[in-house]
Structure formats: structure tokens, C-alpha cells
Amino acid sequence: MVLLLPAAALHALAASYSLSTYNCGSLTNCATPAPAHQGVWSASASDRSETETGTPFDIDTASAMTFYGKSIVTIQGGSMTLSNHVHMANFQKAAAAPVRTGAVGPAFAGGNITDTLTIAGAEGDAYFLPVYEVDGKFSSSAGKYLGSFVALCPGIPGTSCRPMIRRSPGGVANVQATFRSTLGDTLRFRFGVPSQYKLSFYSRVLAPTTPAADPSPGTFRDDETVDFTIRLVGVAITDRSGREIPRAKVLSEAGIAYQIVPPPAVPAQPQSTAATSGTVEGDVVNAATNAPVAGARVKLNQGDEPIYTKADAQGHFVFRDLPPGYYNLAVERPGIITCSYYPKFAARRESRIHRMFRFRPSSARKK
């Protein structure tokens, strides 16, 4: 549901940011960092939080347990940069998952941005789907043990942050991607109603959350680096089906210019497997002797344009390549009463309808 707040509360929460950085020389029990920097967010806002722990070292020559960490987060209007550098050597390798719930691991850089938005240009509900350009790099040593990832979570305040942009695959990996928000209630707004929008973004370096691949006692060395820039490209305003709402625009209390961009094309509905053609066939026989009635005139019509054919020497007739629908099928022969049948084509495969017509001296009518 959409979070709607009184005007006073909106003013208190609107157009703000908080930044946090943290690193610690441990695999476990790293406390969640408190916000290091807070301020008013605007198109001209510029801030930076940085934490550095330990002394840089050459990972190839380190002989004692050594840790160096440096975490940086910056904002500049609609852009954010996240940087984490962690070097750990001669740390005891954990054979089981060492990270407890709520731990942030050896390094964290991230923040939150809050704005008050009003979607204008129509009525009813609208979905605010921001688009971000992501450009960055993961780098880890050959003896990779730590893990790292970058996350970006747009939504209304109070919603959890889950969407992960990328996880380090190991080694060196360059990332250039476009992050598009997923249609959902966490991004649903009401036209003309000021509502809160929150963007959470962060990068983490952390110890494995699953048992180590090599559980034998020993130490590890790792050098993990994450550098990313995230830039706001624009926002798509859509209805609940993901289709663009024309003339919609976004008014930001922070003064951020949200450029309207088209949403991804709505996937075409799967092609119906309904029959595009069908066949009606049958046999005309004498009810008393079962002998075929050759030459019987068969009429098929759907509306005012009937089509005709004649039964062959075996009394068989066929109509092919018919569009699905309801048809009136009539069989006539001089001296014999007309029989009629109203078939309906099947909906999910090519229709093939077969009907036996048996004539008697008395009236015979089939529907």
C-alpha cells in the first residue's frame, strides 16, 4: 500500500539523506554502522563519508594477521558512488557460516535518500519506476574467500531492501548495466497526493554465509575491492499493467529533475493456441441400409454467405480452412428431408468435426 503522511510529517522527513561507512578487522560480530553523515538532499547536495582502518600492506608478503579496510560513499545530486576496499591476511578460516544475523561484515558503504514526490498529469494510481545506470568493478584475489555485492532498493519508507544489483563473481569483473525497478506496491503512488519515496543503496564485503569449500584448519588471504557509480537516468510512470501513462510528470520537493523515460515494452500476450482454421466433414448414409448417399448437397454457412459441396461416391464430404465459430450445416437431396447440424470448433487446437447423417423417410433434424 502507499504510505501517506500528514503535511507536517512529510516536511520533517522530506528531502533528506544519510550516509554510513564501516570496516572492522574481524569476520564476525561487526556492529551495524550508525549514520555518519546526514543532511538535506537536493539537486546540489554533495557529501562524503569515509572510514579507514589499519595500515595498507602487500598481501604477498604479509606474515602476521593483518587487516586493512577503506570504505567510501558519496552523493552528488542524483548520483551515488560506493567504494569498499578490504585486505585481510592470515585470518583463521571458518569451517562453518560465521556471519550472524545483522552483522555487516568487514566492510560496508551505503546510505539512504528520501524525497517527497507528487505525480501529476492524471488521476488514480500510478507506478513510479526509477531507472539507474550502474557502472563499476569487482576485484578479488586468486585466493578468494570473502564475498561482495552491491544493492539498490527503491520504494516507500518502511519497506525492506532486497534487490541486489550484482554479486562479485570472483577475479576482476566490470559491470555496466541498467537497473530498472520492478512493478509492485512498494512503488505505487496516487496522482496528486504527496508521498514519500526512499532509495537505499549499499555495498558490502562479508565473510561466507555458508560453510567454506575447504573446511580444513588454516588461514586465508584475500583482497576484495568494490567500486561502483550509480546514476539516476529517469523514471517511467505506468499503470498497473506496466503501460506508460501519457503526460505524467514528477514534482520533487528536493528539486530533483526526474526525466520521464519510456517503460520497457509490455510483453506481448502469448499467442493464443486457439484454432485459426478448422475442418468440418461427414458422411451421408441411408439409415435403413447404411448405404452411402452419393451426390447429396451439403451447405455450410456462418451468416449470409453459404458455401456448398457434394458428397462423393462414398457419401463423404469435407469443408477445410474454416475460421473458428458457429456454423449451420445442412444436407439436402431431392426426395430426402434436410438435416441440419450446428458445430462449434474447439478452442485450443485445430478443429476437426466429423458428423454422420442418416436419412430416413421421416424428418431427421440434428443440432
Q: What is the pLDDT of residues 259-284, one digit of tens each?
A: 999 988 766 655 555 555 677 778 78
Residue 316, domain member (yes or no): yes
Query: Is the model more confident about 355 or about 78?
Result: 78
Whether residues 145 and 18 fall in one domain: yes
User: According to the model, what pLDDT value does residue 75 have?
Assistant: 92
Residue 107, domain member (yes or no): yes
Residue 58, domain member (yes or no): yes
Whether residues 245 and 350 fall in one domain: no
Collapse the DSSP code of 8 into the 3-class scheme (helix H, G, I; strand E, B; otherwise coil) and give the result: helix
Q: Has residue 72 got a pLDDT over 90?
A: yes
Residue 303, domain member (yes or no): yes
- For residue 11, which phi and psi values (nearest 5 degrees)? -65, -35
Whether residues 191 and 241 fall in one domain: yes
Whether residues 158 and 207 fall in one domain: yes
Whether residues 155 and 234 fall in one domain: yes
Q: Has residue 58 got a pLDDT over 80?
A: no
Q: Which three cell numbers stand for residue 291?
A: 448405404
Whether residues 236 and 285 fall in one domain: no
Residue 364, domain member (yes or no): no
Whether residues 242 and 350 fall in one domain: no
Domain stop point among 252, 269, 298: 252
Cβ atoms of 101 and 28 within 8 Å: the answer is: no
User: According to the model, what pLDDT value does residue 342 have?
Assistant: 46
User: According to the model, what pLDDT value does residue 159 have?
Assistant: 67
Q: Which three cell numbers stand for residue 362?
A: 421421416
β-strand 351-359 against 278-286: which pairing, if any? parallel
Residue 269, domain member (yes or no): no
Whether residues 192 and 316 fall in one domain: no
Q: Which three cell numbers stand for residue 118?
A: 507528487
Reference 71, options 46, 100, 50; nearest CA is: 50
Residue 235, domain member (yes or no): yes
CA atoms within 13 A on the CB side of 344: 3
Strand partners for 356: 283
Q: For the beta carbon of residue 35, count every other beta carbon within 10 angstroms.
A: 12
Residue 236, domain member (yes or no): yes
Q: Has residue 169 got a pLDDT over 50?
A: yes
Q: Has residue 3 got a pLDDT over 50?
A: no
Whether residues 116 and 37 fall in one domain: yes
4 DSSP assignment: -
Cβ atoms of 121 and 238 within 8 Å: the answer is: no
Q: Has residue 178 got a pLDDT over 80?
A: yes
Q: Has residue 347 got a pLDDT over 80?
A: no
- For residue 185, which phi and psi values (nearest 5 degrees)? -65, -20
Highest mean pLDDT among 198-202, 220-224, 298-302, 340-344: 198-202
Distance (Å, whole) CA 117 – CA 252: 5
Helix, strand and coil percent figures for the chain, each rounded to 5: 5, 50, 45
The arithmetic mean of pLDDT across residues 117-131, rounded, is 92
pLDDT grade for 359, boundaries at 50, 70 and 90: low
Please measure the distance between the N-terminal and C-terminal CA atoms of the chain and give it in whole angstroms.
53
Distance (Å, whole) CA 299 – CA 367: 14
Distance (Å, whole) CA 130 – CA 3: 18
Percentage of the chain beyond pLDDT 90 is 25
Whether residues 235 and 296 fall in one domain: no
Q: Has residue 101 got a pLDDT over 80?
A: no
- Per DSSP, the residues of 91-102 read EEPPSS--PPTT
Give the distance from CA 330 to its chain's centroid.
53
Whether residues 185 and 128 fall in one domain: yes
Cβ atoms of 135 and 152 within 8 Å: the answer is: no
Range of the domain at 153: 7-252
Sign of CA dihedral 359, 360, 362, 364: negative
CATH classification at residue 328? 2.60.40.10
* Structural domains in the chain (count): 2
Cβ atoms of 66 and 89 within 8 Å: the answer is: yes
The arithmetic mean of pLDDT across residues 175-189, rounded, is 85
Query: Is the model more confident about 330 or about 247?
Result: 247
Whether residues 75 and 155 fall in one domain: yes
